[in-house]
Structure 1
Amino acid sequence: MKNFIILLAIVFILFSTCLCTLSKSDRKSRNTKSKKTKGERTDAKKDEDELFLDSYIEPSAVTVESILEEYNIVFSGERKLSSPTLGYVTPWNNHGYDIAKLCAKKFTHISPVWLQIRPSDSADGPTCVITGDHDIDHDWIKDVLAANPNTQIVPRILFEGWMPENMQNFLYEETWQSRCLRVVTSFLKRNEMHGAVIEIWLQAFSLTAGRMKMETIELLNSWAKAFHSYDMEFIIAVPPAVDSKGQIMAVFTPVDFVALVDEVDYIHIMTYDYRSTARFEGIAPISWVRSNLEVLLKESPVSATKLLMGLNFYGYEVKQNGLDAVTGDRFIELISQKNANLKWDPVAFEHFVSVNNRLCFYPSLSSLSVRINLASRLNVGIAIWDIGQGLNYFTELL
């Protein structure tokens, strides 16, 4: 088992330098410290394609004082964005349940992270089983839909507990796929859900060493058609296409995007957890995010409305031995310390705080607004991981 894990790690490193994984009342006007003004374009190329940098929240307007004064305000009014907005909700960041209810009008899709699909056996042959259903909260779903009947409840279903052999067999055997499809669609219909976010791409790629992409694409396109026959939406989550050097990676390519985009409803590209071989350079540097979107849209520009840009509501505390994930509570704890110093990274377009020899990158109104503007400029939607990890007042931007 240990050797198997090491092998998977080596395969993953060879093909990708990005790790992904896929967490009360409105005020009529914001504090003038946080008003929207023209942001500086310090290190950005100033051309007509970067108009998304012309209107975002000025970094200098976001201060320790303004955050501490305003971070807990929830903006629950009508949505500002015209493109799809998907919010993930995780049981381990359960404040997201409240945000989803209070701000249901802000989201076209809510994806609770409850479920896994695992290999199983039946009298008829190999099949699948859905686990995690003990986390389902039907009353919460009713509350979200009561607040916004148009919100689509699309749980994330993660392929988990698969080994290389059974993943390969699954991708080869259409009868096995059909049994699993019936399990999934029956489960979703029984629980009155509107579709699902299926997360299999990275798992299938890793477990088959990238040799069964065609079979994975055929599976997803087939399942998408079946979902549509039941009037359900089919969404997939995929890793970034471009690495830290701007090179297209093998895991998910523009060719893969084109092969999938006609059948699936949305493709969520996980544009966060940026990794470089040098020092930590941000969670999702803006130039890298833009490159990932544009390299896909270059091959299929008419499909922009089916692309969801990943947007992180979490941060990272940088340590000598690695990174620690940071949620809103921890960030507020850090900036509440007397010597906290909030700074702006003009290359990554992200705020970070330094305090007591600690360094923490965490989203801000400035960093989020410039990314949302980029998505709007390219006519793509956003997928937030996850809404329970963010500060309440991030909802102002949605």
Structure 2
Amino acid sequence: MIPRILLLFSIFSMASAVTIEQLTWQPELVTKESILKNYLKLTNETIFEEMTTLAFVTIWNPRGFYLARKRVNRLSYVSNVWFEVEPTFGMDVMSDVAIVGIKNIDRDFIKFLRKNNPNIKIVPRFMFTKFTEEVADYFIRTEHIVQRVAQTLANFCHRNGFDGLVIDSYSTFGESLMKHRRDTMETFEQMGNMIRRNRLIAILSLPSPVGNEYFLGDENQESTLINSNECESLLNSYDYFQMWTYIDGLHTRNFIHDKYLLANMELCKFSPKIMLGMSLYGLEYELEDYLEGPRLRDWTTIDSKRFLQVLKLEDSVLTWNKKNKEHELTSKANNTFILFPSLTTLEYRLALAKEHGVAVAFWDYGQGLDYLTNLI
């Protein structure tokens, strides 16, 4: 589970004017039959226009590359999940980094996107998972190495014709954020500032600041990853802050509902630099265990293939949950309970983002049902 700091705050007060009744895709319109009939159909019509959108595409879900080509004129940013950042050493201490994954660059894909949408920005993701805890601690305390690494990443982007990058380093620096908070925050800020000084787009990708666990107990006791002032500092150093407003569902699963999304936007003062994470994958749990509750183990993530497999079962039932505003799929014969993005759920979450003027980021573009991309 993502570690967070506990800070005393008043209850988040912002409410949304968006209601389910206002949506084009009413819950009753989404049925087993309608999904199976239409999930592959792509249309030219869209519900949401003039929203900043980012799509993550991964080599393990190649459908995302296909959809990015089809939807190229609807996307503002495409982030190819290709690269890992590996520390290099001189005199037994970290001196710089090397980029792993260069062989994965698909230049034909990039060329196609640029040809068909000259305004699209290519911002690949860089992960720091090859750092050990010892190296991570040294890195955040050594400013000149931070500056050098950021410059190395910037030089790599320039050499390969990228417009910027997404920094995804929480899996490495999450513990550092808890133990050496100021050093870690300054590291994030320095990297963002250096990348932007190189006239590149800098996007920081982190878990949602307000955790799902906030809604499990005393709502006067807020559990946050970063506070509002820290969020503002990060936003000053980056073009966008991409929130993982979907990952909490793997753990406590107290539903990724509107209050959760609104609380995260409110913490960062509804900045237009927020990129609200939109999940296109689903979650699966054993039905018997789910009904017994509480859910003490993580959910299993699934893509559209698994969802459709269960949907086609004769005994499977698709229902609408008014509280968490999600469609639920169950099969007693297979002892399975599934939450998977539907047209209604995704339209509602996009409407929240649109209402408050924030951008959205889809993870990942190849995991969902094709027709979900008709919305935006």
> Normalization by structure 2: what TM-score?
0.86
Total equivalences in the alignment = 350
Deviates more, 1:325-334 or 1:314-323: 314-323
Secondary structure of the residue aligned to 1:274 is: helix
CA contact (8 A) 1:85 1:109 kept: yes
* Residue type of the alignment partner of 1:126: S
CA offset digits 1:340-360 (Å, max 9, x no partner): 210111111111111223111
Deviation at 1:256, TM superposition (A): 1.6
Q: Report the RMSD for the aligned CA atoms in angstroms.
A: 2.4
d(CA) in 1 for partners of 2:155, 2:47:
32
Equivalent residue, structure 1, for 2:351: 373
Specify whether residues 146 and 241 from structure 1 end up closer, same or farther in structure 2 by C-alpha distance, changes over 3 A only: same
1:330 aligns with 2:319: no
* Residue type of the alignment partner of 2:190: S
d(CA) in 2 for partners of 1:260, 1:48:
25
Equivalent residue for 2:282, pick from 315, 318, 321: 315
Equivalent residue, structure 1, for 2:341: 363
Specify whether residues 106 and 277 from structure 1 end up closer, same or farther in structure 2 by C-alpha distance, changes over 3 A only: closer
1:293 aligns with 2:265: yes
* Residue type of the alignment partner of 1:309: L
Specify whether residues 223 and 77 from structure 1 end up closer, same or farther in structure 2 by C-alpha distance, changes over 3 A only: farther
Equivalent residue for 2:223, pick from 240, 249, 273: 249
CA contact (8 A) 1:115 1:157 kept: yes
CA contact (8 A) 1:315 1:363 kept: yes
Deviation at 1:14, TM superposition (A): 5.0
d(CA) in 2 for partners of 1:173, 1:165:
13
> Normalization by structure 1: what TM-score?
0.82
* Residue type of the alignment partner of 2:244: M
CA offset digits 1:256-307 (Å, max 9, x no partner): 20111122100011111335987x544x22322222222322xxx4xx2100
d(CA) in 2 for partners of 1:267, 1:287:
19
Secondary structure of the residue aligned to 2:178 is: coil
Equivalent residue for 1:197, pick from 166, 177, 184: 166
Secondary structure of the residue aligned to 2:248 is: coil
CA contact (8 A) 2:94 2:135 kept: no
d(CA) in 2 for partners of 1:219, 1:276:
28
d(CA) in 1 for partners of 2:250, 2:124:
31
d(CA) in 2 for partners of 1:74, 1:16:
43
Listed as ranges, the gaps of 5+ residues in structure 2 are 7-13, 216-220, 290-296
CA contact (8 A) 1:120 1:126 kept: yes
d(CA) in 1 for partners of 2:238, 2:171:
17
Equivalent residue runs for 1:62-81 within 5 Å: 62-75=30-43, 80-81=48-49
Listed as ranges, the gaps of 5+ residues in structure 1 are 1-11, 18-46
Equivalent residue, structure 2, for 1:37: none
Deviation at 1:377, TM superposition (A): 0.7
Structure 1 moving runs of 4+ over 6 Å: none
d(CA) in 2 for partners of 1:237, 1:48:
25
d(CA) in 1 for partners of 2:42, 2:209:
34
Deviates more, 1:93-102 or 1:331-340: 331-340
Secondary structure of the residue aligned to 2:268 is: helix
* Residue type of the alignment partner of 1:289: L
